[in-house]
Amino acid sequence: MEVYWLGLVEALRLLFRGDPDVYQVIYRTVQVSGTATIIGMIIGVPLGTFLALVSFPGRKLVISIINFGMGLPPVVVGLWVWLTFSRYGPMGVLGLLYTPTAMITAQIIIAAPIVTGFTIAAIQSLNPKIRLQILALGASKLQLLWLLLREARLGLLAAIIAGFGGAVSEVGASMMVGGNLKGQTMVLTTSTVLEVNKGDWQLATAFSIILLLLAFGVTVALTTAQQRGR
């Protein structure tokens, strides 16, 4: 138990002392995971809404692929992104490997299916009679879509929370495509792994506690918005 207590004390010391290296790591974590979550939301909410409302040949197969994507192993995602951005990969000419952009790309691949899957579930959980009632009142297709999204807003916020959780907790892909470079691609998850490998359990525990505090803070903010909309 002593290591947990010492890790908590170290985490508070780093935060209140205003250690620039630590705050740079926190900023990079928020930048990478936040950007990936926003882009994943931009992709996942419209796609999930479309799949929930529109019937077409192969729809069940597409939804099955989305559900499969919700459980993609991060290390596999990291390998694919690494091969894509590597020197001899199809996008190697862009020189994006070991940059925050590569990390964001990997986390988008992780977050987007989660947001899409939760969005499908949120829209499909609505009472089918709602669509008929809205159309009976003379609403246009655009108005129908907007009202359905409003009705499903609690589920959509849950989708965003889950997408952020999947992105911010990911470590394997970020380590592979980011390289854990100090001042450039080092985030809280990769910093924790680095300190564990160095044998500095106290600092590793401190980084993990800071990560938990960050994730909890974002989750509380999104949950507050979710419950306020009830």
State the Cα–Cα distance between residues 105 and 44, nearest whole angstrom. 14
Amino acid 138: pLDDT = 74
CB burial of 217-226 (b: ≥16 within 10 Å; e: otherwise) equals ebeeebeeeb
Amino acid 41: pLDDT = 94
Amino acid 172: pLDDT = 85
Q: Of the candidates 57, 172, 52, which has an alpha carbon nearest to the alpha carbon of residue 107?
A: 172
State the Cα–Cα distance between residues 15 and 22, nearest whole angstrom. 8
Q: At what angle do helices 153-168 and 141-151 cross, to 10 degrees?
A: 70
The alpha helices in 93-200, defined as continuous H runs, are 100-124, 128-136, 141-151, 153-168, 172-178, 188-198
State the Cα–Cα distance between residues 112 and 43, nearest whole angstrom. 6
Taken in order of first residue, the domains within the chain and their CATH numbers are 2-228 (1.10.3720.10)
Amino acid 229: pLDDT = 54
Q: Work out the end-to-end distance of the chain between its first and last CA atoms, rounded to an integer number of angstroms.
A: 40
Per-residue pLDDT of the chain (230 residues; tens, 9 = 90+): 666 777 777 777 777 887 788 889 999 999 999 999 999 999 999 999 999 888 889 999 999 999 999 988 889 999 999 999 998 888 988 889 999 999 999 999 999 999 999 999 999 888 877 777 777 777 777 887 888 888 888 889 889 999 999 999 888 888 899 888 888 889 999 888 888 888 888 888 888 888 888 888 888 887 787 676 55
The dihedral through the CA atoms of 188, 103, 36, 67 has a sign that is negative
Supply the Cα-derived Rg of the chain in whole angstroms: 20
Amino acid 220: pLDDT = 86
Amino acid 108: pLDDT = 96
Amino acid 210: pLDDT = 87
